[in-house]
Chains A and B, each alone.
Chain A
Amino acid sequence: EVQLLESGGGLVQPGGSLRLSCAVSGLTFSSYAMSWVRQAPGKGLEYVAGISSSGGSAYYADSVKGRFSISKDNTKNTLDLQMNSLRAEDTAVYYCAKGQAESTYWGQGTLVTVSS
């Protein structure tokens, strides 16, 4: 059974940092690109960042470029999202997803709240 389990969400002040992690099991993690998608309260889905299967290439939405960094550890089967200089508008549920998020495999999500 494929499982994706996010962790690391929480309350952080504006300007602060947070690191999200997604533990993946049940598939050959090193064979797949992975993605982070977020959903602000009451809003739609937004693609945030993606990384190639090897971890060698990454993509970032303009809204997070220069502040967020995605990484993939194919030895530990984990996907991370380092989030710096957080803003109120980064408040959202963050989901990790297999591939370019077109997959059926998504995590349960972790809530990030940026507030003073």
Chain B
Amino acid sequence: DIQVTQSPSAMSASVGDRVTITCRASQGISNSLAWFQQRPGKVPKRLIYEASALESGVPSRFSGSGSGTEFTLTISSLQPEDFATYYCLQHKSYPPTFGQGTKVEIK
């Protein structure tokens, strides 16, 4: 199975901050990675697919990059509604595996 290591597990940030979350895959997965945002009590919402493609309707302050084994999700200027938990998901091979999640909290 491909392991996905997501970091950090939690972080405190202020409105306006630039935030970067990283996922590392245990083997190359090309660009088969998606990023999700989950607010408390809500369904995970896809932000990024194919590592860097922005989901329709998602603000442009979100961006994804990377290929192979290292990937990043960047929020260029954190907004109040962005405080949530973020997950990456590799779907290059079965089983698909999620990162452990990153909880972004208000500083």
Contact = CB atoms under 8 A, between A and B. Distances in A.
A100 B100 CA distance: 17
B96 A35 contact: yes
Given A102-B49, A104-B55, A47 B98 contact: yes
Nearest to A57: B94
Nearest to B100: A44
Task: Identify whether the interface residues of A are mostly helix, strand, loop, or mixed.
Answer: loop
A50 B98 contact: no
Contacts of A47: 95-98
Interface in A51-101: 59, 61, 95, 99-101
B71 interface: no
Contacts of B91: 99-102
A28 interface: no
B43 A44 contact: no
A108 to B, nearest CB: 6
A58 B43 CA distance: 24
A102 B100 contact: no
A116 interface: no
Interface string B73-107: 00000000000000101010011111111000000
Nearest to A4: B43
A44 B96 contact: no
Contact of A108 (B43, B96, B97, B101): B43
A103 B97 CA distance: 14
